[in-house]
């Protein structure tokens, strides 16, 4: 991508499709990065008028569309962010890629093997860059875990227990989270964060077993997956609670030979290392989201790792460097593992 025009950073034009919960976060992150990364939002789409208007407020003159497909018909931005309900990801991403746009797609990147294959084929044909919103790869605490695992700072990893607990996901457009065909259940929607991170850090599991529960409707709402990676084991739980009030709680506990690293997103400090020698330390992590952006006035710490991942995406486009953190093929591989786990979860629930 050409860097400069008459000495100035060439503008990257962007479009945002879907301005619900996640779209609003992408929108603010792009605004916060607009000066530094030279991004300009030229079009946004949402079929809910109030979301569309709210999303457009921060971009005077932005073109507004009711549907993502209409936007893609009329506009050809450099990049498209897809923050639609998951069942709409693949169609829109394929359309955007065929127009030559680089694409950022929220997770799960798709909901079936066929969609995954189509996405990969289209990317190969078009040569565009595609990043997936597997945002845990951009969390400072999880990056720390990956680093100490790779450097063996505390010796070898022996076990890893991860949890991602949420209230019932009842907030989506037309209640799409509660329909397995649209969300892929708690497995592909929530637990995919942890299974993706496990793959990112350790690699593909040798084997796994699944236990699960379901809501009265039959939709899988809790999954506990027991993985084996050589001589390391990991357990990851994803839960959509029956209540709509339980606080969101992501956590992990990694037992190394010389220390145990504990993270809990609801606690302060969230990350603590308990050493075998009796030390208790809360590592100071480098975060690029801790200040207020002077230009946009947006509090970047509210955006957290979403800011970090989008900044990385833009940096890769600007510099031409390989997109390694969460490229399309990685997003697809995580969906494929998630689909196997979902199948096992269904079998488990059927056999109870």
Ligand X SMILES: NC(=O)c1ccc[n+]([C@@H]2O[C@H](COP(=O)([O-])OP(=O)(O)OC[C@H]3O[C@@H](n4cnc5c(N)ncnc54)[C@H](O)[C@@H]3O)[C@@H](O)[C@H]2O)c1
Give 109 or 234: the residue with its C-beta nearer to ligand X: 109
Looking up tokens 């409707």 gives: 217
Looking up tokens 């390694």 gives: 324
Give 176 or 229: the residue with its C-beta nearer to ligand X: 176
Give 133 or 331: the residue with its C-beta nearer to ligand X: 133
Query: What's phi and psi for 225, nearest 5 deg?
Result: -115, 130
CB 176, min distance to ligand X, A = 6
Report how far residue 185's alpha carbon sits from residue 177's, in angstroms, rounded to the nearest whole number: 7
**Interacting residues with ligand X (CB under 6 A):** 17-23, 45-48, 51, 67-68, 83-86, 88, 106-107, 133, 135, 172-173, 189
Give 79 or 83: the residue with its C-beta nearer to ligand X: 83
Residue number with the shortest CB distance to ligand X?
20
In terms of DSSP H, where are the helices of 43-87? 49-56, 68-74
CB 257, min distance to ligand X, A = 32
Give 11 or 54: the residue with its C-beta nearer to ligand X: 54
Question: Helices 192-201 and 140-151: crossing angle, nearest 10°?
Answer: 30
Report how far residue 110's alpha carbon sits from residue 183's, in angstroms, rounded to the nearest whole number: 9
Question: In Å, how far are 84, 317, 351 from 80, measured between CA atoms?
Answer: 12, 12, 43
User: Could you report how far apart the first and last alpha carbons of the chain are, in Å?
Assistant: 55
CA 178 to chain centre: 19
DSSP element (H, E) containing 304: helix 300-319
CB 271, min distance to ligand X, A = 19
CB 255, min distance to ligand X, A = 26
User: Tokens at residue 115, please?
Assistant: 């969609």
Residue 107 sits at the vertex; the CA angle it makes with 268 and 172, to the nearest 5 degrees, is: 80
* CB burial string 96-105: b at 16+ within 10 A, e below: bbeeebbbbb
Report how far residue 193's alpha carbon sits from residue 166's, in angstroms, rounded to the nearest whole number: 13
SS3 state at 111: coil
**Which residue, among 92, 87, 100, has the nearest Cα to 178 in the 3D structure?**
87
**Which residue, among 243, 261, 263, 193, has the nearest Cα to 223 in the 3D structure?**
193
Decide if 32 contacts 313 (C-beta within 8 A). Answer: no
CB 62, min distance to ligand X, A = 14
**Which residue, among 75, 76, 104, 110, has the nearest Cα to 91 in the 3D structure?**
110
Give 22 or 271: the residue with its C-beta nearer to ligand X: 22
CB 48, min distance to ligand X, A = 4
CB 315, min distance to ligand X, A = 19
CB 89, min distance to ligand X, A = 6
CB 108, min distance to ligand X, A = 6
Give 26 or 129: the residue with its C-beta nearer to ligand X: 26
């Amino acid at each position: 991508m050409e860097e400069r025009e008459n000495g100035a950073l060439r503008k990257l034009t962007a479009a945002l499709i879907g301005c619900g919960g996640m779209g609003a976060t992408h929108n603010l992150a792009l605004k916060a990065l607009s000066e530094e990364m030279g991004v300009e939002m030229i079009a946004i789409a949402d079929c809910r008028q109030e979301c569309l208007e709210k999303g457009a407020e921060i971009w005077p003159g932005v073109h507004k569309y009711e549907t993502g497909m209409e936007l893609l018909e009329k506009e050809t931005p450099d990049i498209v962010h897809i923050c639609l309900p998951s069942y709409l990801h693949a169609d829109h991403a394929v359309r955007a890629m065929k127009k030559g746009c680089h694409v950022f797609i929220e997770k799960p990147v798709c909901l079936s093997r066929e969609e995954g294959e189509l996405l990969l084929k289209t990317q190969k044909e078009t040569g565009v860059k595609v990043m997936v919103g597997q945002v845990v790869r951009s969390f400072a605490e999880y990056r720390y875990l990956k680093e100490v695992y790779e450097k063996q700072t505390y010796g070898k990893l022996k076990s890893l227990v991860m949890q991602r607990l949420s209230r019932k996901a009842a907030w989506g457009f037309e209640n799409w989270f509660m329909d397995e065909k649209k969300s892929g259940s708690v497995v592909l929607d929530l637990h995919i964060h942890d299974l993706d991170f496990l793959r990112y850090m350790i690699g593909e599991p040798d084997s796994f077993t699944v236990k699960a529960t379901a809501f009265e409707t039959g939709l899988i709402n809790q999954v506990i997956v027991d993985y084996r990676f050589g001589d390391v084991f990991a357990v990851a739980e994803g839960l959509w609670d029956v209540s709509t009030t339980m606080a969101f709680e992501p956590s992990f506990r990694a037992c190394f030979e010389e220390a145990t690293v504990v993270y809990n997103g609801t606690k302060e400090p969230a990350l603590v290392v308990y050493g075998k020698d009796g030390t208790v330390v809360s590592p100071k992590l480098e975060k690029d989201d801790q200040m207020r952006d002077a230009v946009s006035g947006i509090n970047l710490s509210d955006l957290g790792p979403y800011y970090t991942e989008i900044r990385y995406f833009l940096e890769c486009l600007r510099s031409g460097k390989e997109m390694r953190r969460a490229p399309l093929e990685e997003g697809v591989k995580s969906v494929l593992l998630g689909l196997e786990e979902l199948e096992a979860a269904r079998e488990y629930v059927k056999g109870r």
